Amino acid sequence: MNKTSISLLLCAAMMVGDIFAQDPTVPRVSKNYFPVSVQFTPVPSGKGWRDERPPLTDETMRETIHNIILHGCTHIAAGEFSNGGANLKVFDYAQSLGMKIDFTSNGVQLFKRNDPPKYCVYSPEYLDSVRTRIEPVLGSVKKVSNPFTIFPFMDEPFHADTTSFDFREPVKRAFKKQYGYAMPTSYSVAKREPRKHLDFINFQSSTFVEAWRKIYKEVKQYDNRPLVVMTHDSHNTMGGGVNSDSKYAVDDVFHWGGDFVDMFLYDIYPYTMFDYRYGEPSQIRKPRISQMHYTMAQMRNLTTTYGKKLGFWLGTYNNGWFRRYLNKEMLSQYWMERELAYTAITGGSDFIITGINIPSDARHWDDFGQAMRTVQKVGGAISESQKPKARACFLFPRTQYVQMQEECFNVGQTYELCLRAFGELDVIHEEQITDDKMNGYDILVMADVKMLPREVAKHIAAFVKRGGVVISDCVPQSDSYFAPLESMKELFGVKAAATNRVEQKGTWNPFSMLPAKWAFVKEAPAVPVKTYDQAQGKAYNQNLSFRVITPRNCVATDAQIITSLKSGFPLLLSRKVGKGSCYLFGFCLQDTYFQTWMDNDITSRTELQQLMHDVFASTGIVSRVYSSNPDMEAGVRLHGNEAYCFVINHEAENAITDVTLRDLGFEVGQIMDVEWGRTVDFVRTPDGGIRFTIMAVEGTPTGVTRLLRITPKK
């Protein structure tokens, strides 16, 4: 066939596509939408591709695109992270209906998790070599008329081992220029001196950034139409990089920064595989959503700080990625795509992309479609809305993470406890604490923090004196180099305080096709050693008797003991400092909270949750959003003179909650349930807020969601 014939065929195909695109009965993507991307794969319900082997007929191809659009999806994802049948004909027809294309790849960076690149990132040869890869790896994007995103980086980057460290001459020169002394010749040499170890790890971690900045500039010059995207990991760069997929704690997303992308994506799969908790919590993943909330808060901190968009890889029930984990329980959890998509959007996500493939089960696909159709009713406004900054933040202690080489991931359970107790909670990185303003937050939560840089400790003390609040379950007593740190004991009003916690090892890998087994350990870990105590007495007019795991015995000096443990040691202390105050729990919140789930001890969990809520309430600082039912999430996004409230039932059997909203920026006139088209009654609170009751009980209550549009009084 000659070139003229090929051109005529392509023109004919485009003409046919234009004819169908102009047909008023053909579904189209609205101009104002929330971006939801799926792969071009078989659909389990409705018209379109089922079991046919490609190439598909034009009719089947078009019906599949129509099906996707009717399910509220707006983009086609293609490239290396797709098992689908997308081709230029699919792209052309999809784009004729208003869809855009997301082009994924494994990147052009030349290095991997275990190995440095052939050429050092500080050498001119590195960039020359990267340039030769851009066209072969990313060139297909030039054939697309409406690309939305492009993925030019390695998927989920991190240093898996010290084998990925670079010791070549250009690296040594860069290190000496930055730190003023010769770079250690190996990791083991650096480990001998705490200061050199910290410098060495921070520097080696940042070599990735040196490459990414160069790649970003080159890709934008190659094609500046699509957003440049990087996918971050759900655990290794967020406190779980010790004896996991990475051997050592080296990286974290905020330390890397964000000036080398337009959008950050991240993934976590609470339903479709394990979520990288350690030890017993990996076997009993409760609360199911805790690690997603914790990691998303870290990603939100990164993207808001650097002014970037945030996206989310949504795990779907399909054989493409999760065949080894699929089971009957997962099949029955048809709501999981809806639940996680809404959780991501209310958490600040501006983009959803399925990972990977359309759900293979009709009920999963149709429920997800109903949820996305609801979002698209107000999609443009949600795309333009923002999740407002919380009034409380949760500290990520990078220095401790690197120096002590202890996981900082299970603490996501403490984050979840505090989020449920207060209603909203961001993450703050220790590198952001540069003065007494705490980056604009009113409350700082520190959980399992044993080590702080001296300057950070000084700023925290000054923050309290000027009116801030610190809530903690541990007193940091070491500086960055393991020297004694006394200032935090003085701040909390104690002269001695334990810092121990239960040591959890390994990650339970719940295969379904293969025997389930422990990962990242050579043999099954021993049963963790635990110490116990019991709450007693009364606090905030509540009688306490919950079981305490890992009491952190402390001796008060000028702190007020609010209530004590059965052993006689303090359970909760407080201290006024200047205009602010400190609260110290005398036990490990993470260990105690998890045990209530492990033992199914609802009474203890209810007491602990109420106590935490009472501590937050006693500060006089109120959150913008609060759900009275801790197992039902309420989150809000603001867009001018309107707000969007998402209510998500994660695990509540009693699926009723009272939601309180404050400080929306306008006087509320109406609340409309977007999905069902009916108004929601509300009452005004004395502090100028509103309160309303939400029920989520259709069929099985778990996973049921509400999207509410809140508009001003006329």
pLDDT tens, position by position, 433-443: 999 999 999 99
Q: Which residues contact 7 (CB under 8 A, 6 or more apart)?
A: none
Q: What pTM does this model have?
A: 0.96
Residue carrying the six token digits 């490609």:
54
The dihedral through the CA atoms of 705, 339, 229, 304 has a sign that is: positive
Q: Are strands 705-712 and 668-673 parallel, antiparallel or unpaired?
A: antiparallel
> What pLDDT, in 10s, does the model give residues 367-414?
999 999 999 999 999 999 999 999 999 999 999 999 999 999 999 999
Residues forming beta bridges with residue 576, ordered by sequence position = 581
Question: What pLDDT is recorded for position 321?
Answer: 79
d(CA 447, CA 154): 32
Band of pLDDT at residue 5, cut at 50, 70 and 90: very low
Residue 58's pLDDT band, with cuts at 50, 70 and 90, is very high
Contact 439, 428 (CB under 8 A): yes
* CATH number attached to the domain at 625-712: 2.60.40.1180
Average pLDDT on 595-621 reads 98
Nearest-Å Rg of the Cα atoms of the chain is 26
What confidence score (pLDDT) does residue 10 get? 43
User: What's the mean pLDDT in 606-623?
Assistant: 98
pLDDT for 21: 61
| HEC sequence for 87-100 | CHHHHHHHHHCCCE
Q: What percent of the chain has pLDDT over 90?
A: 92
CA angle 99, 97, 136 (to 5 degrees): 45
- Amino acid letter, residue 660: T
Give residue-wise pLDDT tens across range 102-130: 999 999 999 999 999 999 999 999 999 99
Per the document, the length of the chain is: 714
Q: Which of 412, 457, 450 lies closest to 433, judged by CA? A: 457
pLDDT (average), residues 167-188: 98
For residue 700, is pLDDT > 60?
A: no
pLDDT the model gives residue 7: 43
- State yes or no: pLDDT of 602 exceeds 80: yes
pLDDT at position 81 is 80
- With a CB cutoff of 8 Å and minimum separation 6, the contacts of 430 are 395, 396, 397, 398, 399, 452, 453, 456
Query: Contact, 451 vs 400, CB < 8 A?
Result: yes
| pLDDT, position 80 | 86
Per-position DSSP letters for 379-427, written without gaps between them: HHHHHH-BPPPPSEEEEE-HHHHHHH----STTHHHHHHHHHHHS--EE
C-alpha 701: how far from chain center: 24
Q: pLDDT tens, 240-296?
A: 999 999 999 999 999 999 999 999 999 999 999 999 999 999 999 999 999 999 999
Which pairs with CB-CB distance under 8 Å and at least 24 residues apart come from 538-542?
538/563, 539/563, 539/571, 539/572, 539/611, 539/614, 540/611, 540/614, 540/615, 540/617, 540/618, 542/607, 542/610, 542/611, 542/614
Name the superfamily (CATH) of residues 392-619. Class I glutamine amidotransferase (GATase) domain (3.40.50.880)
What are 189's two structure tokens? Answer: 């040499």
Residue 448 has pLDDT above 90, yes or no: yes
Listed as own residue / partner, the contacts of 320-323 with beta carbons closer than 8 Å and 24 or more positions apart are 320/39, 320/41, 320/83, 320/356, 320/357, 321/272, 321/355, 321/356, 321/357, 322/269, 322/272, 322/273, 323/513
Residue 3's pLDDT is: 40
Determine the Cα angle at 285 with ends 280 and 288, to 5°: 160
Dihedral pair phi/psi, residue 226, rounded to 5°: -80, 155
| Domain residue ranges of the chain, discontinuous segments joined by + | 392-619, 625-712
Q: What letter does residue 270 receive in the DSSP assignment?
A: T
Indicate if the pLDDT at residue 12 is higher than 50: no
pLDDT digits (tens, 9 = 90+) for 13-46: 455 556 556 788 999 999 999 999 999 999 999 9
**CB neighbours of residue 687 within 10 Å:** 9
Mean pLDDT across the stretch 154-159?
A: 95
Query: Per-residue pLDDT for 701 more than 70?
Result: no
Rounded to whole angstroms, how far apart are CA atoms 32 and 19?
23
State the virtual CA torsion across 58, 60, 65, 67 in degrees, nearest 10. 160
Q: For 38-53, how does the pLDDT look when each residue is reduced to its tens digit (9 = 90+)?
A: 999 999 999 999 999 9
DSSP letter for each residue of 544-604:
---EEESB--EEESS-EEEEEBTTSSEEEEEEEETTEEEEEESB-HHHHHHHHHHTT-HHH
Res 84: pLDDT: 79
Poorest-pLDDT segment among 80-84, 189-193, 329-333, 580-584: 80-84
List the one residue out of 485, 420, 499 whose CA is nearest residue 457: 485
